[in-house]
Amino acid sequence: MPHFTAAPNISGFIEKPITDHTEEWKKMLEEGDLYGFEKSLFTELLNMYESIASTFMQEVATKISDKLAADAKKSGARKFEVRPMRIRLGTGSEISLNSPYVKESKGKWKGNRHLLGAYWGTIGSSSPFLYNKVGYSVAIGPSYNIAHQTLARFGTSISLSSTQAISNKIAAQCSEFGEENLMLEEGESLEDKRVIISIDGGRTRTREYNGNVNESEHSTYGTNWREPKLFVIDVIDNKGNIEKYKLPIYGVRFGEEDCISLLESYLRKLKIEKAAEVQIIGDGAAWIWNRLPSLMERLNVDKTKLTETLDYYHSSSYVYELADLMPEKITKEERKKYLETFKEWLWNGEVHRVVMACRKIFKHPCKEINRRINYLEKHQNRMQYEAYSKKKLMCGSGIVESAIRRIINLRFKNTSTFWKEERVEKLFFLRAAVLSGRWDNVVQKLAHMV
């Protein structure tokens, strides 16, 4: 940003509201109305903010316009004209500035044609301070309506439709830049870290228009349940506890290949090949184990540093189910003893003994019983829980289960809420950025990349 040799005189903005309200504010405090005093003072401060922002921005816009046009010409712009440009401030108020506008360029002009908007990092007509507040409120709240109410309560006056539109524009901009380019801190790396990667799926209902109309001539649509896939990248210490000062990374995609591709983008940027250890945790979903080991190989992760783990909750549920499905001739007490023995073998990494015992017990297994036995047999190398525990690694996928609940289910699984797939996939990122504690990274980079 350029340095300014002179700044507008703002003393008038400060003195006027104070002198106008001094007696009123004193009276409020004397009468015990601290809330009224604070609310009135805050309103005046917002008015000052708008006046000061407008004055500074008008003056600086005039000062830097020629330089912006000259720089744009070097980047391929050919013809310019001055056009009015609206910018909505953090309060929701609009100001209009004259901005150099790119009319023609060599090839397709990338980014905002309003050069002031590009320079100051606006998205649409929203200032960074405004889209920071809108994006955060939409991501953290249970609905657009609650986000709209929250914004109004704390000094941002925009319509409900604007709340929705701005958040969608932010999400689209994030998608264009690449999530991995926004979420990570500069120079962030997994070098020498003990890394946990866990993947699972959530539930969201999508809106898919079918081309038909109803009696009111409104377009009709299907509301199929979809399973967005979410991954977590986290770091544990030498005691097996989540590192408190290392922020997690969440990524969500509907498609399996898209999810793996996004994960790969993060891991490449984070130099996963330099990690001290890498543990993959998931349930028995074939798409996970068909892809992740080969991804680690592609990323040059040393096999001796890699541990594949089937979530203990999922594996033990199969043991419980097999005990319940035992033939009637096996008594309740005998089943209980089998179950305790099976659980002990499971924990000790002796799953082959569970499989052998079940082969003897179930002389003529049905399809469902065979499926459970085959599941245990197939994943037995990923069920060495006692060994994982001794190495201070994880045995369960609690970190991804928690992430699915907080990022997907609590926000995008609401009753009678149906999402366009391409839109909600982008909104997942906003919520992931907020709940991972990385929102400031995202906004800072957005404000300087637009």
What pLDDT sits at residue 127? 96
User: Per residue in 265-299, pLDDT tens?
Assistant: 999 999 999 999 999 999 989 999 999 999 999 99
**Is-contact 442 183, C-beta < 8 A?**
yes
Strands (E), 25-146: 77-88, 94-105
For residue 357, being part of any structural domain is answered with yes
How many whole angstroms from its chain centre is CA 146?
A: 19
Statement: residue 236 has pLDDT above 80: yes
Can you read off the two tokens belonging to residue 61? 């816009």
- Taking a C-beta distance cutoff of 8 angstroms, is the pair 407, 228 a contact? no
Measured distance CA(280)–CA(375) in Å, rounded: 18
DSSP code at position 158: -
Q: In which band, very low, low, confident or very high, does the pLDDT at 446 lie, cut at 50, 70 and 90?
A: very high
pLDDT at 165: 95
Distance of alpha carbon 135 from alpha carbon 170, whole angstroms = 7
Q: Flag whether 317 is in a domain.
A: yes
How many distinct structural domains can be found in the chain?
A: 1
Instruction: Write out the residue range of the structural domain in which residue 369 sits.
Output: 313-382
The rounded distance, in Å, linking the Cα atoms of 139 and 167 is 9
Q: Which residue has the higher pLDDT, 194 or 102?
A: 194
Q: What is the pLDDT of residue 242?
A: 94
Q: For residue 18, what pLDDT is reported?
A: 66
Mean pLDDT, the chain, whole residue set: 90
Residue 31 has pLDDT above 80, yes or no: yes
Residue 355 has pLDDT above 90, yes or no: yes
In a domain, 51, yes or no: no
In this structure, is residue 251 part of a structural domain?
no
Give a yes or no: residue 218 inside a domain. no
Which of 112-116, 341-345, 432-436, 439-443 bottoms out in mean pLDDT, i.e. has the lowest? 112-116
Confidence category of residue 1, pLDDT binned at 50, 70, 90: very low
On whether residue 171 sits in a domain, the answer given is no
CA distance 348 to 346: 5
The torsion angle over the Cα atoms of residues 263, 269, 272 and 274, rounded to 10 degrees, is 180
Flag whether 112 is in a domain: no
**Residue 96 is which amino acid?**
S
pLDDT for 80-127, tens place per residue? 888 999 999 999 999 999 999 888 887 777 778 899 999 999 998 999
d(CA 281, CA 238): 18
Q: Per-residue pLDDT for 7 more than 50?
A: no
| Secondary structure of residue 356 in the 3-state scheme | helix
Predicted pLDDT of residue 16 = 59
pLDDT at 14: 52
Q: Are 190 and 275 in contact (CB under 8 A)?
A: yes
Q: Are 199 and 230 in contact (CB under 8 A)?
A: yes
Give a yes or no: residue 332 inside a domain. yes
**Whether 274 contacts 304, CB under 8 Å:** no
With contact defined as beta carbons under 8 Å apart, do 140 and 434 qualify?
yes
